[in-house]
Structures are given as structure tokens and as C-alpha cells.
Amino acid sequence: MDPVSVSIVVSAPREQVFDYLQDIANHSEFTDHYLVDWHLTRIDSVGLGAGARFRMKVPGVRFSWADVSFVEVERPQRIVEAGRTGKYNRIRTLGVYDLQPAPLGATRVTFTLLTVPATLSDRVMESLGGRAWTRRKNGRAMRRLRGILEQGEGRGQRVTVAAG
């Protein structure tokens, strides 16, 4: 699938937004409307190497588990997460959070998601509305992120270590 990008301006300093996003345990708070059953892949959920596994609530998809790990953390402007999803985890994913200064001390947060389907059947499944669905869900996640960082509202459940 071609990259899907969503962008939003958050009225918070870039360092504050970065500190929130570099803790992958926080991501379940603003994405729990379509990413559920979160599990951390290691105890330390902050910074390079932090990762999580979760299930996507995608209509009509049987193999909905995915995992991501932070592969690049460049303070305070960029976080790159790489992962896999789909049957046998054969679809590679790359997500990039880009944080740029905006007027009046705000921060422009842009999230770009790229998927690399491995087979023709994976490409067909993505082409059947996958791009629009992804853009819609990620757009809502960005609005929820803004609500959490600006007013502390709309917080979902923060993921913890199993049995924690």
C-alpha cells in the first residue's frame, strides 16, 4: 500500500509530545478504538527497542495480530517503528512519527504508515478499502492524541506488562 499520512497540530511543546510518544505503552491510550489486546514485548517500554504486540479490529480480516518495535528514536523530532502483521507475519510495516514545531509553541505531529504486502492475496486484501480504513482510524487516533496531550481527556487504558 502507498504510504498513508495523517497530521495534526497539538498545543504542547515538542519535547512533551515526544516524551509521550516514545513510551509505547502510551500508544494503546489513543489507538484502542482499533488496536486492542496490547502486550509489551519487553519490560522497558521507552525508547529504542521498545515494542508491543496487539490485535487490529479490521473487518473481514482473519489474521489480525501485529507487532511493532521502535527502530529509530531521534529526540525530539522523529520516532520510527517497524513491525509485521498478517498471516505468518509476512506483511512488513513501517510507521513514522514526525514532530515539527508549529506557531505559538505548538507541535505538528505527522504519522505515516507504509505496509509491504508479501503476496498477491495480501495486496488484494489491502486494496479493498484498506487505505481509506487506515487513514480514517489513524486520523481518529491523532485527534485522540491531541485531546490527551492538551486536556488530558479521552484517555484509554495504558498497556502494562503481563499480570501487571
Judge residue 24's burial from the number of C-beta atoms within 10 Å of its C-beta, 0-12 exposed, 13-18 middle, 19 or more buried: buried
Domains and CATH numbers, the chain: 4-151 (3.30.530.20)
* DSSP β-ladder status, 4-10 and 78-85: unpaired
What is the per-residue pLDDT across 12-39, written as a single tens digit (0 to 9) for each?
999 999 999 999 999 999 999 999 999 9
What is the per-residue pLDDT across 116-139, written as a single tens digit (0 to 9) for each?
878 886 677 666 667 888 899 999
